[in-house]
Amino acid sequence: MHALVVTTGRDLRLDLFRGIALWLIFLDHIPSNLVAWGTIRNYGFSDATEIFVFVSGYTAAFVYGREMRERGFLIAGAHILRRAWQIYVAHVFLFAIYLAEISYVATSFENPLYAEEMNILDFLKQPEVTIVEALLLKFKPSNMDILPLYIILLLLFPPTLWLLQFRSSLALGASVLLYVLTWTFNWNLPSYPSGHWYFNPFAWQLLFVFGAWCALGGAQRLAAVLQSRVTLSIAVAYLLFAFVITLTWYLPYMSQYVPHWLEELIYPIDKVNLDVLRFAHFLALAVVTVRFLPREWPGLKSRWAWPPIVCGQHSLEIFCLGVFLSFAAHFAMVEVSGAIWMQFLLSALGIVVMVAAAGLLSWYKRAEGRSSGSRPKKTPDADLAGGEA
């Protein structure tokens, strides 16, 4: 019950960073996009996915945790599963759009330079297998891996949340144990046509549960550590180290300055299984952010912070829209022009559309709230913060 003390009012920083993460994911998902050079994945080990999973765990615990305390395990659990179903439907919808786009782009494509790349379209030859495998979440086109991860995380969330409420350290410990066992025994879910899930849910759950743990009092317990100068220095040093290492990926001649033993130690930095270096990089980013961006920072209420915040508050819808827009941007680059000005234009346009859509959703929500006064107040709040997509 101690958790109640922590969660007074909404921490706008969460929405802000989830909104920014949504923009970055959109930019990273447009293939061949020069603007994506500005996204954080090029300056360190972790990327927007980490921010997104963590914030989603945090908000899910914040919203469903309160509901579980007030209305019981059954109701909160049912709401979480309904959310998982919504995300599944959204995923299948996006898959349909994806099929439409690539079937169109691919049929007109006969460049002899890319004879080998045409094998990508093999799956179109067997729609009866592909579509069933997609519905089973085994066939996932590239860039469509995050929603299936969320579905699994949410399916496992009711018992996790229950445990977090009563034995939070035990729950976090269990999560770490699962992560370690996953690394030891190479657990993962199978994919079609081969391989495994690109975001291994057994590994990535660590970040989601850690976010939830922070929301339910963990952040308070870490306060002393977070405020210490030593922690900050370590975090800054690690971020610098990660930056230098990342630089060597893009400037190969610099890799001669990386000692061999270090290469042996750090590589490969495994995204599939949420490499510990990535997790640490996210933690370091979080330490620095929490330090220099206090919760009461007035800028969070300013007009400049509104666009990312409003996007972060409707994360499922805006995430799906972002995936759709990245397909659309790719389509425009293929059919109209892939020039650099076009990449900038499409990137900016996409973000404008995302903000406009999020603003519209907020307006709908407010209008609905006004018209039906009898509506229980809980539901819109849960939607607002529970957008775990």
Binding site for another protein (CB under 8 A): 31-32, 34, 101-102, 105-106, 108-122, 141-143, 191, 193-196, 198, 249, 251-253, 255-256, 258, 260, 263-264, 267-272, 326-327, 330, 333-334, 337-340
- Whole-angstrom distance, CA of residue 286 vs CA of residue 383: 25
- Whole-angstrom distance, CA of residue 96 vs CA of residue 144: 12
The SS3 assignment for 198 reads coil
Task: Please measure the distance between the N-terminal and C-terminal CA atoms of the chain and give it in whole angstroms.
Answer: 27
Phi-psi region of 186 (alpha: psi -120 to 50; beta: other; left: phi over 0): left
The CB-of-46 to another protein minimum distance in angstroms stands at 14
Q: In this complex, which beta carbon is closest to another protein, that of residue 247 or of residue 280?
A: 247
- Whole-angstrom distance, CA of residue 128 vs CA of residue 122: 13
The CB-of-291 to another protein minimum distance in angstroms stands at 31
The CB-of-44 to another protein minimum distance in angstroms stands at 15
Q: In this complex, which beta carbon is closest to another protein, that of residue 84 or of residue 147?
A: 147
Going by C-alpha positions, the residue among 20, 66, 46, 26 that lies closest to residue 287 is: 46
Looking at residue 230, its amino acid is V
- Whole-angstrom distance, CA of residue 248 vs CA of residue 256: 9
Q: In this complex, which beta carbon is closest to another protein, that of residue 270 or of residue 381?
A: 270
Q: In this complex, which beta carbon is closest to another protein, that of residue 236 or of residue 342?
A: 342
The CB-of-268 to another protein minimum distance in angstroms stands at 5
Only one residue has tokens 């330090």, namely 291
Q: In this complex, which beta carbon is closest to another protein, that of residue 248 or of residue 362?
A: 248
Q: In this complex, which beta carbon is closest to another protein, that of residue 118 or of residue 223?
A: 118
Q: In this complex, which beta carbon is closest to another protein, that of residue 69 or of residue 196?
A: 196
The CB-of-18 to another protein minimum distance in angstroms stands at 23
Q: In this complex, which beta carbon is closest to another protein, that of residue 126 or of residue 337?
A: 337
The CB-of-350 to another protein minimum distance in angstroms stands at 14
Task: Report the residue count for the chain.
Answer: 389
Copy the structure tokens of residue 14: 């969460």
Cis peptide before 193 (omega within 30 of 0): yes
The CB-of-131 to another protein minimum distance in angstroms stands at 16
Going by C-alpha positions, the residue among 356, 319, 326, 362 that lies closest to residue 86 is: 319
Give the single-character DSSP code of 31: T
The CB-of-308 to another protein minimum distance in angstroms stands at 25
Query: Do residues 64 and 76 lie in contact, with contact meaning Cβ atoms separated by under 8 Å?
Result: yes
Q: In this complex, which beta carbon is closest to another protein, that of residue 170 or of residue 336?
A: 336
The CB-of-249 to another protein minimum distance in angstroms stands at 7
- Whole-angstrom distance, CA of residue 51 vs CA of residue 47: 7
DSSP string computed for 135-160: HTT----TT--HHHHHHHHHHTHHHH
